Structure 1
Amino acid sequence: MGLFDKAKGAFGAAAGNTPDLAEQARLAQELANQSLRDAGYTDGSPVTMANASEVRASMTADHDVLNAYGQELNRIIAIGEPGSSIIRSSVDSGERTAGNPWFHLEIEVTLPGREPYTVQKREMVPPQVLASYAAGTVHDIKVDPADPTKTAFTS
């Protein structure tokens, strides 16, 4: 069996099997609807002409939040002083951006040659890495030299 025969087989077209394109399209639409629901943009129903502008506005707003958040973290990482931190508390704020939860963290920051201090921080924590940001976890951190309350995790 050659390379292209294997590819055909993967899509159900080998040995006389005809792929059910309608079923594939239905499953793809179901997956898209679930993704939009998980991100908080719809209730799981398809995007239609009636709700498309609302969904687009939500997605654009989330894009802007994510972009600004990422730029600020990158700025702090680029100029920040390296240190370490311990998460003392982690509380889900109930807010979501693109399906990702925001947490209120209390962290203890330690910079070389300085006394540890506590910072209150709002952090987006994707569900896949949530356990890594539990109370008691230790992280490398960068601290804005102009404002030691602005921090970015680097581990």
Structure 2
Amino acid sequence: MGMFKDLKKMSDIGKEMSEQKRKEMGWEKSKNPLNPSGFKMSDALKAGADAAEQAQALQAEMMRQQELLTTGMPGTATVKGLQDTGQIVNFNPQVVLDLEVTIEGKGAYPVQFSTTIPQVHIPMVQPGNTIGVRVDPNDPSSVAIDWARPQG
């Protein structure tokens, strides 16, 4: 008898969670028996458009990073701090890095940017470590981590 009470309790909790999510998403409760969830196609289209926009932004950033790795000035950066954003891209964490960048002919200067860190390189970006970077000569705040260069 206790098992059935537990099953009902779990079912009720699931319904409550669904209702709460529906309210968060702005979906109204449907009285239509053909669409009991109240889901609107426009919600799905908006979510799809948002996802496509995020994917385009990520792809543009990846292309910019690749271009920097081939055309940027070599430099070094000391990791001053990092913050996990909670986002994962292809199983790799996205973080905000605080760096102190040094390039030839220019003093050290701070840069903060968001990037994805490959799992195998996480130990390299711990505070205090020095990493190789490439810097945009026209915009010194635009930096890409050069994973191929020996780290110091």
**Equivalent residue letter for 1:134:** Q
Listed one character per residue, the Cα deviations across residues 19-64 of structure 1 (whole Å, up to 9, x for unaligned) are xxxxxxxxxxxxxxxxxxxxxxxxxxxxxxxxxxxxx999967754
Unaligned runs of 5+ in 2: 1-47, 148-152
Q: Work out whether 1:81 is the aligned partner of 2:73.
A: yes
Over 3 Å counting, the alpha-carbon distance change for 1:61 and 1:129 in structure 2 is: farther
Unaligned runs of 5+ in 1: 1-55
Match of 1:139 among 117, 131, 138: 131
Q: Which secondary structure does the structure 2 equivalent of 1:72 belong to?
A: helix
Work out the CA distance in 2 between the residues paired with 1:116 and 1:152: 16
Match of 2:116 among 124, 148, 152: 124
Q: Which secondary structure does the structure 1 equivalent of 2:106 belong to?
A: coil
Return the offset for 1:105: 0.6
**Equivalent residue letter for 1:131:** P
Give the strand-richer structure, 1 or 2: 2
**Paired position in structure 1 for 2:89:** 97
- Alpha carbons 1:59, 1:98 under 8 Å: kept: no
- Alpha carbons 1:102, 1:125 under 8 Å: kept: yes
**Paired position in structure 2 for 1:72:** 64
**Equivalent residue letter for 2:65:** L
Return the offset for 1:90: 1.0
Q: Which secondary structure does the structure 2 equivalent of 1:148 belong to?
A: strand
Q: TM-score, normalised by structure 1?
A: 0.56
Identity of aligned residues (%): 26
